[in-house]
């Protein structure tokens, strides 16, 4: 296989984006299936840009071109393409992509181990403990990938028409994929150790730069290899989702796809929780050290508590009647720490400390946006504490630095408050949607990291370029710059995206209804 996984993944997602763009531009979407175009013997398009569907890499291919399952010589010569229905060909392509992408991933893992981890000069530079933090259990991950790939390849070789792959995914996820949780949970320490080594050890920095320049790495960075396992386990879930959208409903293959998806989702969630737990614990300890309580002390550190948002706002001075006075400063700075179950209101004091003067449970917060009353009161909202630290109701008039910052605070403080556009889980017939065309890494706890080709419902947006969205494939919510995506304008494509999402998650519906009220906070 010519492509490293990083290249394969990038090409695959960009092809997905282009295919969706093509579908979105169709004047009559009925002519083109809102999933993928049928890879059949259709007449070629007149322009290169219109060529579809996305092509997939071939296991035995030594160059960098993508190939489809239907382009295999064995498939073309067998005559099977004239027998299979278009939907079955789409399904074959989806299963074939899962296999070929695993081969590409294994190749990249192998390069991480052979080219970097087992380099003799690097072994001499790193202490054993440093190497362990940097590479973690990557050998276990690679062994699991190898076994998984062998089983997948054996299935492909059994018959030119692939019977199923999700049963194999299910078995390996249940029995072997826990190694991913171990690796990904170490990510926080891995990133920190890598930065520290680059800073403290010039020999390490120089050697890594030399190794990255090797043609084998194809211009890819060392860190892009380190993050491979987390990217793969997340992508694998999406590949199973893609298969699930194409299998016939109420069939055995749908059952195995749903089972595989459910187990993969469990592993992905455990990976995410592993990363969050490591970083959250350190963050909570750091915040606790900075707080000084003017009121009765509240214990901050708790295993079930984490930071949602922090930052400075302007609090209005004096009674509301003084709003019209221009002869004195209307606002003074306050600092908020918002946790998943608690709000702490402070003033910053010398020494990078914060003096706490009020607090309230998050469930007892209410917000109200003020109508724009001139520039001085732009982006102002009311925060009500139904029961504060003194066991009484309190109100604060707060001013944010921008419209987006105001909305972000309001949604974080009162998450059950209705947004401009309602979540897809409300089963709306239509909702604004956007697809990610530029990856984005979250900078704040209330932001959402985006991968190429992610599709999201738009729940709210601001005039200064921010969107509050809900990603369809995992229902994760957060803010991101609107420049990261392109809005999906075709209502039939949006409806198809929702329909496919409901189908993927239909096995979770009953459980979601049971847990709904508990999970809101």
CB 271 within 8 A of CB 184: yes
Instruction: Please report, for the chain, the start and end positions of each structural domain, with discontinuous segments joined by +.
Output: 65-285, 294-319+329-413, 424-511
Cβ atoms of residues 314 and 333 within 8 Å: yes
Cβ atoms of residues 163 and 143 within 8 Å: no
Distance from C-alpha of 332 to C-alpha of 315, rounded to nearest angstrom: 5
Distance CA 19, CA 11 (A): 12
Which helix (H) or strand (E) element contains residue 314?
Answer: strand 307-316
Burial annotation 91-124 (CB, 10 A radius, 16+ → b, else e): bbbbbbbbbbbbbbbbbbbebbbebbbebeebee
> CA torsion sign, 164 to 168 to 171 to 177?
negative
Report the C-alpha gap between 460 and 113 in whole angstroms. Answer: 44
Same fold yes or no, 65-285 and 294-319+329-413: no
DSSP state of 50: T
Q: What pLDDT does residue 44 have?
A: 33
Q: For 433, phi and psi rounded to 5 degrees?
A: -130, 160
Contact 470, 477 (CB under 8 A): yes
Contact 424, 501 (CB under 8 A): yes
Give me the DSSP letters along 106-118: HHHHHHIIIIIIT
Fold exhibited by the domain 424-511: SH3 type barrels. (2.30.30)
In the CATH scheme, what architecture does the domain 65-285 have?
A: Up-down Bundle (1.20)
Task: Report the C-alpha gap between 18 and 22 in whole angstroms.
Answer: 6
- Contact by Cβ (8 Å): 2, 218: no
Q: Tens place of pLDDT for every residue, the chain, 521 residues?
A: 568 888 888 888 888 888 888 888 875 544 444 334 333 333 333 333 333 332 333 344 434 344 789 988 889 899 999 999 999 999 999 999 999 999 999 999 999 999 999 999 999 999 999 999 999 999 999 999 999 999 999 999 999 999 999 999 999 999 999 999 999 999 989 999 999 999 999 999 999 999 999 999 999 999 999 999 999 999 999 999 999 999 999 999 999 999 999 999 999 999 988 888 878 888 899 999 999 999 988 889 888 899 999 999 999 875 544 445 444 567 899 999 999 999 999 999 999 999 999 999 999 999 998 876 666 678 899 999 999 999 999 999 999 999 999 999 999 998 876 665 655 454 455 789 999 999 999 999 899 999 999 999 999 999 999 999 999 988 899 999 999 999 999 999 998 898 888 888 765 554 444 434 334 33
Domain 294-319+329-413 has CATH 3.90.950.10: no
Cβ-contact 457, 423 below 8 angstroms: yes
- Reference 43, options 34, 35, 52; nearest CA is 52
Q: What is the C-alpha to C-alpha distance for residues 471 and 255, in angstroms, rounded to an integer?
A: 24
SS3 382: strand
Beta bridge partners of 192: none
pLDDT, position 59: 44
């Amino acid at each position: 296989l010519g492509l490293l996984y990083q290249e394969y993944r990038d090409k695959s997602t960009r092809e997905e984006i282009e295919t969706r763009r093509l579908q979105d531009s169709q004047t009559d979407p009925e002519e083109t299936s809102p999933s993928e175009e049928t890879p059949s013997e259709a007449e070629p398009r007149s322009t290169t840009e219109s060529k579809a569907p996305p092509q997939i890499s071939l296991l035995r291919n030594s160059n960098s071109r993508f190939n489809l399952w239907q382009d295999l010589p064995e498939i073309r010569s067998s005559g099977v393409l004239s027998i299979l229905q278009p939907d079955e060909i789409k399904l074959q392509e989806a299963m074939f992509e899962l296999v070929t992408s695993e081969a590409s991933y294994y190749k990249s893992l192998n390069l991480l181990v052979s080219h970097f981890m087992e380099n003799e000069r690097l072994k001499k530079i790193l202490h054993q403990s440093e190497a362990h933090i940097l590479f973690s259990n990557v050998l276990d991950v690679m062994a699991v990938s190898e076994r998984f790939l062998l089983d997948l390849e054996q299935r492909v070789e059994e018959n030119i028409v692939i019977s199923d792959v999700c049963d194999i995914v299910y078995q390996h996820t249940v029995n072997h994929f826990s190694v991913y949780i171990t690796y990904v949970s170490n990510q926080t320490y891995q990133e920190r150790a890598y930065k520290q080594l680059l800073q403290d050890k010039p020999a390490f920095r120089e050697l890594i730069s030399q190794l990255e320049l090797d043609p084998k790495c194809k211009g890819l960075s060392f860190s892009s290899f380190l993050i491979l396992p987390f990217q793969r386990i997340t992508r694998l879930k999406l590949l199973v989702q893609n298969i699930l959208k194409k299998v016939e409903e109420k069939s055995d293959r749908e059952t195995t796809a749903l089972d595989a998806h459910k187990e993969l989702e469990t592993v992905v969630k455990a990976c995410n929780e592993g990363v969050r737990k490591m970083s959250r614990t350190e963050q909570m300890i750091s915040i606790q050290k900075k707080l000084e309580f003017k009121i009765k002390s509240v214990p901050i550190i708790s295993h079930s508590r984490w930071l949602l948002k922090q930052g400075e706002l302007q609090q209005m001075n004096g009674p509301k009647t003084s709003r019209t006075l221009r002869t004195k400063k209307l606002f003074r700075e306050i600092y908020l720490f918002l946790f998943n179950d608690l709000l702490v209101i402070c003033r910053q004091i010398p020494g990078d400390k914060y003096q706490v003067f009020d607090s309230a449970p998050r469930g007892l917060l209410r917000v109200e946006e003020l109508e724009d009353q001139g520039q001085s009161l732009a982006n102002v909202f009311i925060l009500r504490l139904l029961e504060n630290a003194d066991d009484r109701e309190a109100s604060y008039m707060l001013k944010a630095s921008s419209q987006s910052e105001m909305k972000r605070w309001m949604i974080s403080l009162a998450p059950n408050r209705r947004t401009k556009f309602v979540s897809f889980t409300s089963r709306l017939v239509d909702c604004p949607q956007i697809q990610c065309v530029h990856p984005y890494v979250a900078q704040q706890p209330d932001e959402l990291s985006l991968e190429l080709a992610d599709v999201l419902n738009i729940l709210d947006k601001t005039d200064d370029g921010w969107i509050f969205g809900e990603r369809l494939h995992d229902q994760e919510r957060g803010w991101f710059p609107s420049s990261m995506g392109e809005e999906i304008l075709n209502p039939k494509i949006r409806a198809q995206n929702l329909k496919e999402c409901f189908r993927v998650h239909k096995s979770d519906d009953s459980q979601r209804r049971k847990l709904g009220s508990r999970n809101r906070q």
